[in-house]
Chains A and B, each alone.
Chain A
């Protein structure tokens, strides 16, 4: 991993996904892109870190972590980039006679072929099954090299979402929402008596009675505020 001059995905560590690490950790040091983070002989490059000329260099603004010999950055913001088997919440954007086009909040839209849809549709009757503007809980089946992806609704619990509310958070904050061993999420569900499903694309489906939804949304907003403070060295 030494001596690369040009930044390319293949000279970054396997952990260096465009949409950020899935777990967040405490870190003391704030860095900006371009900052020198030390010699690459000592540490491996994790998320948001690139090896250039034998030195570790920050690619993002955020907090630096140094765990188990790997230097990584917990970024301020991330965009979702799909990976196979991600659970995501999407909206139907359009359709042809046998394909739905799904907005999954990624830089590129996904398709849902009729064969992977929730139920059989007659030719020409695709909108009776899922109509434009409908929300769905689905799984990413396949991501092509050029980032276009295929989603499926075949699987446990995958379905059309017909009630409740969908909120959006940055994907790298999912770790905070879910908590160690799913503790935070479980607590949120218990306190609000809501069904809460967090998609890997940062869309969070909250379903329950109206009071519970509002309470859950307020708690979600509190979490985002706390994350903002933590980012800049405050107490989370």
Chain B
């Protein structure tokens, strides 16, 4: 990823707005952009979702493979999550092997899903020690106008929840839905002009400082946290955004449930 120039004027302007508790696009501090969620949008994937947040657009696709279980866990399948932000998604994303930024994206989303325990890897076992399902979740950015993290995480869980194990194609029984028992949701906060805001767009990311990603499970349990970029924050600031994250995660969870039920 090319490191773009940060205009001093932009930082000063964002700070000026922050002092008046405003944002450059007129949103409130913890207000999100419009969110669209669509499932089953990729014909060749066994589960898929498309998320649009403002001008940020991402896809998530689920594929299955048969794997040999690891010797130390003979009755467990596997889950793999990878994010690739290809240069299609923005001027700043360059071709070449996955950048540290896109690897971080994939790993943070992966942790939230894995640690929530929403997929029981023992359910993925076909023959202990010999055959098990490997769930592969690929995250793909079409347009990056900021906050790829939340868009990816939302698309990821929706794609998993809509996935069908293609057992007939692999001659391993009948097709069946993938069991996903929980709905982990990520909320990201970016420090812009000295205070945290929710769902920062590209301009706020460019002129902002550190970001914090919080993934919460169904019962408000914390499943993954990540602080990224240069910056210092206080315990009080964290307590504030954690509190905000609880209500926002619940809203987004409803959105996912509705999309899956409406299937």
Contact = CB atoms under 8 A, between A and B. Distances in A.
Interface of A: 91, 93, 103, 131-135, 161-166, 210, 213-214, 217-218
Nearest to B6: A133
A80 B20 CA distance: 35
A164 B9 contact: yes
Contacts, number: 38
A91 B5 contact: yes
- DSSP majority for the A interface? mixed
B202 to A, nearest CB: 13
A166 B7 contact: yes
Contacts of B12: 163
B16 A133 contact: no
B13 interface: yes
A135 B9 contact: yes
Contacts of A135: 7-9
B195 to A, nearest CB: 16
A133 B24 CA distance: 20
A134 B8 contact: yes
Contact of B8 (A133, A214, A217): A133
A83 B10 CA distance: 27
Contacts of B22: 210, 214
Contact of A133 (B5, B13, B17, B20): B5
A91 B8 CA distance: 9
Interface string B165-196: 00000000000000000000000000000000
Closest CB pairs A-B (n = 8): A133-B8, A165-B13, A135-B9, A91-B7, A133-B7, A93-B5, A134-B8, A91-B5
29 contacts: A91-B7, A93-B5, A103-B5, A131-B8, A133-B5, A133-B6, A133-B7, A133-B8, A134-B8, A134-B9, A135-B8, A135-B9, A161-B9, A162-B9, A163-B9, A164-B9, A165-B9, A165-B10, A165-B13, A165-B24, A166-B7, A166-B10, A210-B17, A210-B20, A213-B13, A214-B24, A214-B26, A217-B24, A218-B26
A135 B24 CA distance: 19
Contacts of A214: 22, 24, 26
Interface in B17-40: 17, 20, 22, 24, 26
A197 to B, nearest CB: 13
A17 B26 CA distance: 37
A164 B13 CA distance: 7
Contacts of A218: 26
A210 B5 contact: no
A133 B6 CA distance: 6
> Could you say which of B9, B16, B20 has the most chain A C-beta atoms within 10 Å of its C-beta?
B9
Nearest to A217: B24
A81 to B, nearest CB: 18
B258 to A, nearest CB: 31
Given A132-B5, A134-B8, A165-B10, 15 more contacts: A91-B7, A131-B8, A133-B7, A134-B9, A135-B9, A161-B9, A163-B9, A165-B13, A165-B24, A166-B9, A166-B10, A210-B16, A210-B20, A213-B13, A214-B22
Interface string B75-90: 0000000000000000
Contacts of B20: 210
A84 to B, nearest CB: 25
A132 B7 CA distance: 8
A133 B13 CA distance: 13
Nearest to A131: B8
> Could you say which of A93, A131, A165, A213 has the most chain B C-beta atoms within 10 Å of its C-beta?
A165
A236 to B, nearest CB: 23
A103 B24 CA distance: 23
Contacts of A213: 13
